Amino acid sequence: NVQMKLNLDDLVQQHLFAHGQYEPEATAMWKYLLAIRKLGGDMGANVGYYSLLTAKYGAAETKIFSFEPMTHIYNRAKENIELNSFSKIHLIKLAVSNQKKMEVIALEEESNWGGSNIVAKTPQSNVHSEQIETTTLDLFVKEQNLNTVDLIKMDVEGYEPFALEGMEKTLTNYNPIVFIEILDHLLVRFNFTPEDIFAFFRKHGYEGYMILPNRKLKHLDKAISFDGLILFAKQNEARIQSQIIV
């Protein structure tokens, strides 16, 4: 029920074309939570999949702020938003970090747009890269005078610890549910591990859950690396209690 312009040279967009969705378990849980959450952030929006879902299935008053810093991916997301005439999505050409600064983002494989990543060192000359601007979610929330943040999806290719550091006030003030990718081979580029991500969330009173089929959740007792999205929510978060299996 959502239209998208796709580049079939890209792995994620190939999957969307073939199956009509991506990350089916996370997609189902995201849509379920949209019924009870009103404002979200999509960090690492890529071509706009989760943002488009939010605009399609969220309540009338739902808004989403989508961050995508790389120019050609931002332009594709913009095309997809305009294709559906969605006014709920506010697309922002910034990356989310722990401070306002300039960074370099690189796309090492044209077949994997979602693999574009902020680099820890200068990329090789044959790699497509560009300089981008960053902000923090805490600063953005303050500048936009937002009084709630309900849902966050974060997939920023190993840069997650910096983005999380810049949203501590948002977590404390609004207790959003967070969907986040945690991959050890990406985190290690910045000398982080999955345990660092889990420890950050534990410090803020959050628990991690694996997202299962049929909108079910399984509590994670230890840190894991997972090629997909993991859900973090405040301890005893009422809105997910019925979805947790023992």
| Whether the predicted pLDDT of 112 surpasses 90 | no
- pLDDT for 233: 97
Helix ranges restricted to H, 4-90: 11-19, 24-34, 49-57, 71-83
What mean pLDDT value characterizes the chain?
91
Q: Vertex 37, ends 196 and 201: CA angle to 5°?
A: 10
| Whether the predicted pLDDT of 236 surpasses 70 | yes
| Whether the predicted pLDDT of 168 surpasses 90 | yes
246/142: higher pLDDT? 142
Place of tokens 């290690």: 188
- pLDDT for 159: 95
Q: How confident is the model at residue 128 (pLDDT cuts 50, 70, 90)?
A: confident
| Whether the predicted pLDDT of 75 surpasses 90 | yes
- pLDDT for 123: 64
What's the mean pLDDT in 104-130? 75
Question: For residue 103, what are the CA distances in angstroms to 44, 94, 215, 244?
Answer: 15, 10, 37, 39
- pLDDT for 111: 65
* Lowest mean pLDDT segment, chosen from 42-46, 113-117, 169-173: 113-117
